[in-house]
Amino acid sequence: MRLFATLLCAAAAVALLAKPETFEVGKGAFLLNGEPFVVRAAELHYPRIPAPYWEHRIRMCKALGMNAICLYVFWNFHEREPGVFDFSGNADVARFCRLAQKHGMYVIVRPGPYVCAEWEMGGLPWWLLRKKDVRLRSNDPFYLDRVGRFLKRLGRELAPLQLPRGGNIIMVQVENEYGAYATDKSHVANIRDSLRAAGFTDVPLFQCDWASTFRRNALDDLVWTLNFGTGTDIDGQFRALREARPDTPLMCSEYWSGWFDHWGRRHETRDADTMVRGIRDMLDRGISFSLYMTHGGTTFGWWGGANNPAYSAMCSSYDYDAPIDEAGHATPKYAKLRALLQKHVKHPLPEPPAPPPVITVPTFTLDRAISLFDALPAPRTSPQIRPMEDFGQGWGTILYVTHLPRAAKQGETLALDEVHDWAQVFADGRLLARLDRRKKEFSLTLPTDLPAGTRLDILVEAMGRVNFGASIHDRKGITERVTLGGDTLTDWQVFNLPPEHALVAAKAAQAGARPQGPAYWVGTFELDETGDTFLDLRDWGKGMVWVNGIALGRFWEIGPQQTLFLPGCWLRKGRNEVIVLDLKGPRAPTLRGFDRPILDQLRTPDLSVHRESGRTLNLSRETPTLEADLPPGGGWQTLAFPKPARGRHLCVEIRSAWQEGPVAIAEIELLGPDGTPLPREDWGVTFASSVDPQVANATADKVYDLQESTFWQTSPHAKAPHAIVLDLGAAVEASAIRLLPRVEQGSPGQPKRLRVFLKPAPFRL
C-alpha cells in the first residue's frame, strides 16, 4: 500500500514537471511544441467503423503516412432523444481518440453541431423538427439552447483530451462550411462561444469553407481552412485566402479522395494519380491537409443522409473510392499515396496491419415471414395527416390509413403533398402506385373507379434526411396533405414502424407462411468461423437488414450498391439471425455472403438523361432575355439581365466554348430583384441536350445541387449549341444569372457565348 502511494506521488510529480504540449498557429505554419508542423490528417468516422475495428483503421492510417485523424462528432448518434446521451460502444468517441493517441496520432475534432457528411440531417437530431418553426443552423434560441447542452456534454468527453491537458486533440472546428448555407457571423460566433464554454479552450479553433464562400462568415479570431476535391488547382484554391491573410498557415481541411454514392445514380470514383498529385502539390508548399475520406466505411442502419434539390438519398456504403476501402483493405490508391508519403516523411513507415479475415456464406433461405399489414402496432388517430415527427417517430416506415368519404372516378388525381420519401398506395389492399420523391412523383391518376368507403393505405418509407442546404428542414412521411380531386382527405389512422431492432424483432417473432408485398423476413445461418462478408441483396426489393440485432443498412434493388457490408465482429460461431424488411417483396427470399462488394451495378433506367429520343428544343421563336459572352477563367460569373425578367421556365443555351470538346457548368443561380440568390429547392430538369456518359453523374441537375464540385457536362460527341431547360417550380422575378464553370484544374469545357431565356410558358420540345 505504501509502495503504491509512493508510486502514485512520483507519477503525479512527473506529470506536474513535464511541460504541457502545445499546438499553436504561428506565422505561416502550425507549431507543435513551438516547431513548424504540417498536418497530414486522415478523416475517419467512428460510427461508420464497427468499434472492434477502430484500432485497425487507425493503424492503417498511420502506416499510410498520416500523423493525425480528423473526425466529425455526430450529434444525432449521441442524443437520440432529447437529453438522453450515449457515449458508449460505437458512440464512445473519447475512446476512439485515446486509441489514436495510443498509436501516436493527433486528432482534429469537428463537433459540428452540423456536420453534413452525407449523414442523416447532417448530424442534427430529427427531434429538433418537432418544433414547427425551428430554424436550424441559426440563432433560433431553441436551436442554440439544444446545441449548447450537447456541446457541454461533449466537452465532458473530449475537452480533457486536448493536447495541453495530456491528450492528443490539436484543433477543433466551429460549424461546417457555414458559408455554403448562410451569411451570419453572429451565428458562427455563437457556436464558437458554446465550444469554449464546453471547455475547448486549449487548442486553436478553426472554420472550414470553400474558396468562394470563406469570407462570408470568417471570424477574426478563428483559423480559416478550405475544402476542395481531387483535381483542383491548389494555388488557385488558396489565392484569395493568401491575399486575405498572408501569414496564416494553410490547410485543406477536406481534400476529397473520391465521392459518395446516391441510390439510382452511377457509382463515383476519382483518379488515384490525380488525387496523389494534389497531395504532393500541397506537401511541396507546406500546406496541411486532411484526406476526406481516407477510409469512408459504412453508413450503417438508417444514418444515411440525402441531397436536395434533386432529392437523392445516400447509399449505405460510404466507400467513397477512398484509399482504404469499405472493409478496411488497402486499395491501389493507398499504395500510391503511401509511396508519396513515405518519400516525404523520411523515417520508415510501419507496415499496414493485416485486414480482418473475409469469408463467404453459402446461400440460405429466409423461410419465415410476416406481412407488414399483419404486424401493425396500435394506431394513433389524427384528423389531418401529419409528418412522422409529429408522432414522435424519427426514422423508418409510417402507414397512413383512411376510408374514402365519397366515390372516386377513374382519372381523378390523388395528390400526396409531399411524399418523403417513397410511398406505396393501396386501395382495399391492392397496390395502386409507387411514388418516388427522387422523381418528384407526388400524385397519381386513379386507374379505376373506387367506391365510397374504400380503404386507402399509404405506406411511406423515410430515406435519409437531407444533410446539406436549406432542405435540412426535412420532415418525413407525408408533410402537408393528401387530396382527392382537390378535396383534402381527413380522419387518418397512423401506424408508426420505426427501425429499432427490438420492435422489428417483435414483429418477426410472429413470422409464419410467406406473404406477398411488404413483409418482415426471418432466417438464420450457421458459421464455423466468423469473418467479414458482403450480403448479396440482388434478389430483394427495397428495405433494411438486421443481423444479430444490428441494423446493417438500407438496400434498394436499383443500385448501384447491391451488397451490404456485414462485419465479422458482429457475427458469431454457430447460429446467426437475419431479419429483412422488404417493402416490395423479394424475387427469391435467399441471401448469401460474398467476399467482395458490388457497388457499381445500376439497375434502373438512368434518371439523368433528360432527353427522350427524338426530342429537340426549338428556340426559333423565342426572344432571349440575355445574350452575352462568359469571360474566360474560372470562378463565379454574374451576367445582369438588360431588364428584370419573370418566368418559371429557364433555358441556358451554350452557343460556343473557350475550348474544343464537351462543355460544363457546375452551378447556376438566378438573382432576385435585390441581387440575392433565389432558392433552388424546387428546381427540376426538363431537358438537357446531352450528358457526358464518360463522367459519372455529369447530369443536368448538377447545376442546381448546391455543390460547386459537381457539374453538368455535355457529351464529347455533341455539337454546339448545347442547352438545358429547367422548370423552377414557380414563377420568379430575376435580375441576373450567376454561373460557375467547372472548378477543376484548367476549367475544361468553359462556355463562351450564351443565350438565356426566362419565360412563363414551357419551351417547345
**Cell reading at 590:** 435467399
CB of 254 to ligand GLA, least distance (A): 5
| Gyration radius (Cα) of the chain, Å | 27
118 binds, among ligand GLA, Ca ion, none (CB under 5 to 8 A by kind): ligand GLA
First to last CA, the chain: 89
Catalytic residue among 254, 461, 653, 667: 254
Query: Quick one: which segment of 16-24, 36-44, 223-231, 707-715 binds Ca ion (CB under 5 A)?
Result: 707-715
> Which of 143, 150, 200, 260 touches ligand GLA (CB under 6 A)?
260
CB of 176 to ligand GLA, least distance (A): 5
CB of 53 closer than 8 Å to CB of 60: no
| Residue nearest Ca ion by beta-carbon distance | 710
- Residue 284 class from Cβ within 10 Å (0-12 exposed, 13-18 middle, 19+ buried)? exposed
Neighbours of 627 (CB within 10 A): 15
The reply to whether 294 sits near ligand GLA by the rule CB under 6 A is no
Query: Quick one: which segment of 252-260, 565-573, 598-606, 715-723 binds ligand GLA (CB under 6 A)?
Result: 252-260
Distance CA 709, CA 227 (A): 10
Q: Which residue, 57 or 507, has its beta carbon nearer to ligand GLA?
A: 57
Is 627 a known active-site residue? Answer: no
Task: List CB contacts of 72: < 8 A, sequence separation 6 or more.
Answer: 45, 110, 111, 112, 115, 117, 119, 123, 176
Q: Which residue, 322 or 700, has its beta carbon nearer to ligand GLA?
A: 322
Query: Quick one: which segment of 84-92, 271-279, 348-356, 703-711 binds Ca ion (CB under 5 A)?
Result: 703-711
Please, where are the H alpha helices in 373-423? none
CB of 319 to ligand GLA, least distance (A): 12
The reply to whether 227 sits near ligand GLA by the rule CB under 6 A is yes
Q: Which residues pair with 68 in a beta bridge?
A: 41, 106
For 19-53, the DSSP string reads PPP-EEE-SSSEEETTEEE--EEEE--GGGS-GGG
Is 177 a known active-site residue? Answer: yes
CB of 746 closer than 8 Å to CB of 664: no
Number of residues that bind ligand GLA (CB under 6 A): 10
> Which of 42, 73, 108, 116 touches ligand GLA (CB under 6 A)?
116
Number of residues that bind Ca ion (CB under 5 A): 6
Q: Which residue, 483 or 707, has its beta carbon nearer to Ca ion?
A: 707
Residues 648-687 that bind Ca ion (CB under 5 A): 666-667
> Which of 100, 705, 747, 749 touches Ca ion (CB under 5 A)?
705
The reply to whether 254 sits near ligand GLA by the rule CB under 6 A is yes
- Measured in degrees and rounded to the nearest 5, phi and psi for residue 330 equal -70, 140
Length of the chain: 765
Q: Which residue, 254 or 744, has its beta carbon nearer to ligand GLA?
A: 254
| Residue nearest ligand GLA by beta-carbon distance | 116
Catalytic residue among 175, 177, 268, 418: 177
> Which of 475, 702, 742, 755 touches Ca ion (CB under 5 A)?
702
Distance CA 520, CA 372 (A): 6
Distance CA 337, CA 321 (A): 13
Site map (CB under 6 A) of ligand GLA, residues 117-156, x = contact? xx--------------------------------------
319 binds, among Ca ion, ligand GLA, none (CB under 5 to 8 A by kind): none
Task: List CB contacts of 255: < 8 A, sequence separation 6 or more.
Answer: 227, 228, 229, 230, 275, 278, 279, 282, 289, 290, 291, 292
Give exposure, 320-333, as e/b (b: 16+ Cβ within 10 Å): bbbbbbbbbbbeeb
What is the binding site for ligand GLA (CB under 6 A)?
A: 115-118, 176-177, 227, 254, 256, 260
Active site amino acids = 177, 254
Site residues, Ca ion (CB under 5 A): 666-667, 702, 705, 707, 710
